[in-house]
Each structure stands twice: as structure tokens, then as C-alpha cells.
Amino acid sequence: MTTLVFGALGHVGSWVAHDLVARGDDVAIFDAGAGRFDSLGIDYLEPYRDRFALEEVDVLDTHTLFERMRAYDGRIDAVIFGVAVIAGPNFARRPFRHIEINTMGMLNVIEACRILGVPKFINLSSGAVYGNHPGGQTEETPYMATDLYCATKIANEVLALQYGATYGIDVRNARLFAVYGPGKLPSRMHVLYQALFGPLEGIDGVSTPAGGDQMMDWTHVRDTAAGIVRVLDTPGIAGQSFNISNGNAVTHRDIVAAVQDVVGRDTRVTMGPGKFLDRGAPLDISRARETLGFTPKFADIRDGVIDYKDWLDRAR
């Protein structure tokens, strides 16, 4: 049986695919970037290249999507959906296109799951579904959209859960938060990410318009992926949502200080006041701890920063 991982050439999906392949699962990667795999620099997937299938599929191209999924008919034990345009200043620049990718893209995939009788669907969601509710949000905290990205993540959860309830698909939502770490080049990210982690890649002197007074639940990608695999594996949790994050909020100024300490120089980062993203943090991860046995390994941001620097030093 095969697990189809959509968006598995992205930051989170690539580590999920890695963890599944490394333990011996059959995995098919569905991603619009599949044709460029060799140039993406995903060094942790490369050793397993002959152990997973690569499908170059745009989730908005329903014909190709269905044809390629149908090639696995009867052999799909689960689909993990991790295609998205992620939160950040870029999202609102092309709202309709980005909403289309996030929400129509997921609908296209779950509709194909319904037709093909796929039994399980893991939706990679976000703590963004809580908007700016104050930190300590549990899975019972009401939905609140504070930007268009939040709206797509809320819409996807509601649609996926209703597909599950109506057509008997075992749907689970993994609510992730502010992911950092190996696989993501700060030079390709938005200005806040560059301010926080850019010096690990040699980028100093970044100045952000906002974010200096914010704390967020920054989560190392290996922890994020491990949590998603537990959401996939754990029996008897159909229809449930889980916060998968570090569970601790760290101030952005503390991250800048930790990075500065690790690289051993003045990184000349300046951050404007207020929040960069209108979110509350941290998420309460008690349910994931108790039900899934999930424990973040990089609970201390400094450990995560050191691990990230090791990877960036090798990647450069």
C-alpha cells in the first residue's frame, strides 16, 4: 500500500516523505515541482531516490491529477495534503490565485479520494485557524480568520471534515505553526524569516517593518514531520484535529539573540514594532502529547538553531 504525499517537495512535506520512506513505507510524491527534483537541493531525500515515486501534478489540473491518482487505484492507504501557498506578505498579492491553490486544490484531491475510495486523508492545517486568539489555544478554541490565508485553512478543515462525515473518509487535521529548519533556505523566504534565521546562511543586516514585539511558536521541521506521522499512524482518531507545534512561544528578539550567539557575530538585525503576522501563540499541544504520544525534540530554540546551522553549512 502507498501513501500519497501532496506538496512533498516543500519544506514540511519533504520531511514527512523522508520519515515515511526511511521507515520503509511506499510513498508517492505528488508535487508541481516534481520535474525539478534534482535541482531542489533536498539532500535528505536524495539517498532514497529509488524508493519513492515522483508525480509532477498541479492540483488545479483536475484531469492529470485524477489520471495520476488512478494509477494507484486500490493501493492507496492514505493521502497527506500539504500543498499550499503559505502565510506571509506574498499571500494577499494574488488573492484569488492563492485561495484557488489552497482550497480548490484540496477539494480536487479529496474529491479524487472520494471517487477512488481512499480510506484516510490527512489535511495539513495551521494554528492560523485560531487567528489572533491569545496563546494557549486548544483544539476547542473557535475558528477566527485574521487574514486570507487563515480563511483558506479554516475552509479546508471544514470541507475536509464534511467530506469525511459524508463519504466515510477518515479525515484528520494537523494544525502546524511557524515551521523552521533544514530544507528551507532563508534567502528564499519573507523578510521576517530572513531576519530571524538569515544570519545562519550568511545574511546579516536584515530590517523588518514589524515583528519585534511578537512571540511565536516556532517549531523545528523534524518535530513537525514527526507529529504529522503520528497523526497518520494513530488509530481511532477519525475526524479529530491536533495542534502539532513546539508548544512554547519564543520572542523574535530572543531568536535573533540565539542566532547571533550561535554564529558568534553581531548580525545587525533590526525589527519594527508590533506583530508581523496577526496570530496568538503558543498552541496548547496537550492533546497531541496525550493522544499521539507527541513530544517535540527541539523544545529549546537554541538546539533547533544549532541543528539548522549544521544543515545550512552543508547545503551552501
What is the nearest approach in angstroms of ligand NAD to the Cβ of residue 268? 25
What is the nearest approach in angstroms of ligand NAD to the Cβ of residue 60? 5
Could you give the CA distance from residue 232 to residue 226 in angstroms, rounded to a whole number? 10
Q: Nearer to ligand NAD by C-beta: 250 or 266?
A: 250
CA distances for 182 relative to 47, 144, 186, 200, 244, angstroms: 16, 30, 10, 11, 18
What is the nearest approach in angstroms of ligand NAD to the Cβ of residue 12? 3
Specify the amino acid at residue 68.
Answer: R
What is the nearest approach in angstroms of ligand NAD to the Cβ of residue 13? 5
Q: What angle do CA 291, 297, 298 make, to 5 degrees?
A: 130
Residues with Cβ < 8 Å from 87, sequence gap 6 or more? 126, 128, 147, 149, 150, 277
Q: Nearer to ligand NAD by C-beta: 92 or 168?
A: 92
The dihedral over CA atoms of 196, 199, 200, 202, expressed in degrees to the nearest 10, equals: 150
Q: Nearer to ligand NAD by C-beta: 53 or 236?
A: 53
What is the nearest approach in angstroms of ligand NAD to the Cβ of residue 266? 27
Q: Nearer to ligand NAD by C-beta: 172 or 265?
A: 172
Kindly write down the DSSP assignment for every residue of 16-28, as one continuous string.
HHHHHHHTT-EEE
What is the nearest approach in angstroms of ligand NAD to the Cβ of residue 33? 4
Q: Nearer to ligand NAD by C-beta: 268 or 315?
A: 315
What is the nearest approach in angstroms of ligand NAD to the Cβ of residue 57? 6
Spell out a b/e string for 173-197, using b for 16 or more CB atoms within 10 Å of the CB, else e.
Answer: bbbbbbbbbbbbbbeebbbbbbbbb
Could you give the CA distance from residue 176 to residue 126 in angstroms, rounded to a whole number? 4
Q: Nearer to ligand NAD by C-beta: 225 or 271?
A: 225
Q: Nearer to ligand NAD by C-beta: 27 or 236?
A: 27
* 142 CB burial (10 A radius; 0-12, 13-18, 19+): exposed
Task: Return the C-alpha cell found at 59.
Answer: 492540483
Binding site for ligand NAD (CB under 6 A): 7, 9-13, 31-33, 57-60, 82-84, 86, 101, 105, 124, 126, 176-179
Residue closest to ligand NAD (Cβ) = 10
